[in-house]
Amino acid sequence: MKYKILLSLILVFTIQLIFAQDFRWKVEIPKVDSSGYYNIFLRPEITAKLNKKFSDIRIFEQQDNEVPYIRQSEEDEFKTAESTELKIMQNEHKIAKKYTMALIHNSQKLEFENFVLVIKQTDAEKWLHLSGSDDLKNWHILKNNTRYQSEFSDSATAEIRILDMPKTDYEYYKLLIFDYNKEVINLEKVISYKTIDKEKEYTEVMQPSFFQNDTTEETKTLLKINFTEMQYIDKIVFEISNPKHYLRKAELTKNDTATGKKIRIDYHDSKQQDFYLCSDSTNELTLSKYTAKELFLVVENNDDINLTFSNVKAYQENEYLTVFLEKGKRYYINFGNKNVPAPIYDMKFFRNKIPANKPTLNVSEITKLIDDKNKTGGSIFIKPFFLWIAFGIVIVILALISVKVFRKNNE
């Protein structure tokens, strides 16, 4: 009996230690006067500290009980009654290249701005490459090595929703689904849904600093744009004060944090590989949750005078958490913990029972829970690497204890 108690205590302690929710930041939700559903607005200062899936965020009530939520954004919603299933001409797994390749035929040349991939159930993350063509020879990149997580489902299939793609009408689409984690992805259907057209709402992110360097000998202008921290950018606007009339070819690049190499951004209009700054336009460039801390804009001046940039503004689509709050209770949000998996709540299956119009709440200022020295309060912050080593040691100890208990019971 003593061994069983010891086993339970060690297991519980180890699991709590490894998956301890050591979130780095915290904000408080204001008390509400009546119980009901509310939208919690996530300011860009909050989303900038989240992972790419915005999954490392949790809501707790005053007794530290976790409260379920649904993430809402300004992305277009589906009209599920209006959908088109596309024909999959080719669907095969390339073992050596570690990806599934699907060739999709849009025989009617319809316009699409989203794809829903129906795959065999798996919770593994996927890396996708999507391109379009009208002749099966010249391919235009729509999404390049982009990470997606399948939507949770209790059925035999799951969905990968590619919502952040430009509107296109290619006759053919080539889809590569990489299985770096050695789990083969089985693609069953490709569907596109009609969407509700609505005006997207944006919030300006923290003002970046910028420095202009004109290279006369190369007739180019280099604009270096810096944010104080990594930002998710959905739109960027360039303000130009001089000259009065201009039309210049430009290219936006960034330093890839993984490789250090400069890469080209996938623009909203994928058929147009470059974009132009023009005195007759607003000079807005639409992106989609593009992460960057440092950007470079290269402008071709040719024989004209250099452009003078007066301002650079970046924006993010509004993000919300929909949650049921009880009157008089205190709630808070913890976020910024890369070790926690995406939450799975029943609430997502009951979206149709949530009122369409909900009050919006703004949270308090951000409080830092873990300082720069990796300490939180008086406790010690342990790196995950060492926690996994400790977990391995505990597993060995548990195995030895189990063997000893087994032998004792059979004596």
Domains in the chain: how many in total? 2
| In a domain? residue 312 | yes
Same domain, 145 and 168: yes
CA distance between the termini of the chain: 16
For the domain that residue 109 is a member of, what is the CATH number?
2.60.120
Paired tokens of 379: 């406790």
| The last residue of a domain, from among 161, 195, 229 | 195
Least confident of 115-129, 134-148, 367-381: 367-381
Domain identity same for 186 and 232: no
Q: Same domain for 188 and 257? A: no
Of 172, 195, 218, which closes a domain? 195
Which H helix or E strand runs over 18? helix 2-18
106 and 128 assigned to the same domain? yes
The better pLDDT of the pair 126, 279 is held by: 279
Placement of tokens 């990968």 in the chain: 160
Kind and range of the H or E run holding 27: strand 25-29
Element (H, E) at 403: helix 384-409
Check: CB of residue 199 under 8 Å from CB of residue 244: no
Identify the CATH number of the domain in which residue 207 sits.
2.60.120.260
Given 259, 283, 317, which residue is the final one in a domain? 317
- Give pLDDT tens digits for 300-325: 998 899 999 999 999 999 999 999 99
Helix H or strand E encompassing 397: helix 384-409
Reported as half-sphere exposure (CB side, CA atoms, 13 A), residue 280 has a value of 1
328 belongs to a structural domain? no
Of the pLDDT bands very low, low, confident and very high (cuts 50, 70, 90), residue 216 is: low
Length in residues, the chain: 411
Q: Position 72: which residue type?
A: Q
More reliable by pLDDT, 141 or 21? 141
pLDDT of res. 27: 95
Q: Is the pLDDT at 76 greater than 50, yes or no?
A: no
Range list of β-strands (E), 360-405 = 360-362, 367-368, 375-376, 379-380
Query: Which tokens sit at 332?
Result: 């808070």
Sign of CA dihedral 225, 314, 231, 287: negative
| Residue of 229 and 386 predicted with greater confidence | 229
What does the pLDDT read at residue 89?
93
Classify residue 410 by burial, with Cβ atoms within 10 Å: 0-12, 13-18, 19+. Answer: exposed
Q: Alpha-carbon Rg of the chain, whole angstroms?
A: 25
Same domain? For 109 and 180 the reply is yes
- Is 148 part of a structural domain of the chain? yes
In a domain? residue 27: no
Q: Does residue 275 lie within any of the structural domains?
A: yes
Q: Is 227 part of a structural domain of the chain?
A: yes
One domain for residues 121 and 230: no
Question: Both tokens of residue 351?
Answer: 């979206």
CB neighbours of 196 closer than 8 A, spacing ≥ 6?
76, 77, 79
- d(CA 335, CA 343) in angstroms, rounded, equals 12
Same domain, residue pair 305 and 247:
yes
SS3 294: strand
Residues 206 and 184 in one domain: no
CA pair distance 222, 368, nearest whole angstrom: 36
- Supply 292's token pair: 């960057």
Same domain, 299 and 255: yes
d(CA 107, CA 93): 24
Full domain range(s) for residue 311: 202-317
pLDDT value, residue 157: 79
Per-residue pLDDT at 3:
52
169 pLDDT exceeds 70? Answer: yes
Mean pLDDT for the chain?
79
238 and 148 in a single domain? The answer is no
- Read off the pLDDT of residues 7-66 as tens digits, 9 standing for 90 and up: 555 544 444 444 445 889 999 999 999 999 999 999 999 999 998 778 899 999 987 899
Asked whether residue 169 falls in the same domain as residue 130, the answer is yes
Cα distance between residue 210 and residue 225, in whole Å: 4
For residue 248, tell me if it sits in a domain: yes
As a whole number of angstroms, the distance between CA 377 and CA 319 comes to 30
User: β-strands 331-335, 25-29: how paired?
Assistant: antiparallel
45 three-state secondary structure: helix
User: Looking at the structure, do residues 94 and 167 belong to the same domain, yes or no?
Assistant: yes
**Separation of alpha carbons 110 and 172, rounded Å:** 11
314-348 residues labelled b (16+ CB within 10 A) or e (exposed): bbbbbbbbbbebeeeeebbbbbbbeebeebeeebe
Which helix (DSSP H) or strand (DSSP E) does residue 283 occupy? none
Residue 51 Cα distances to 48, 210, 334, angstroms: 8, 25, 13
* pLDDT score recorded for residue 363: 94
Predicted model pTM = 0.63
186 pLDDT above the threshold of 70? yes
Q: What residue type is assigned to position 77 of the chain?
A: E
Question: In this predicted model, which residue has the larger pLDDT, 55 or 288?
Answer: 55
Q: Supply the DSSP symbol for 274.
A: S
Nearest partner of 149 among 55, 64, 235, judged by Cα: 55
% of the chain residues with pLDDT over 70: 74
Q: Is residue 189 part of a domain?
A: yes
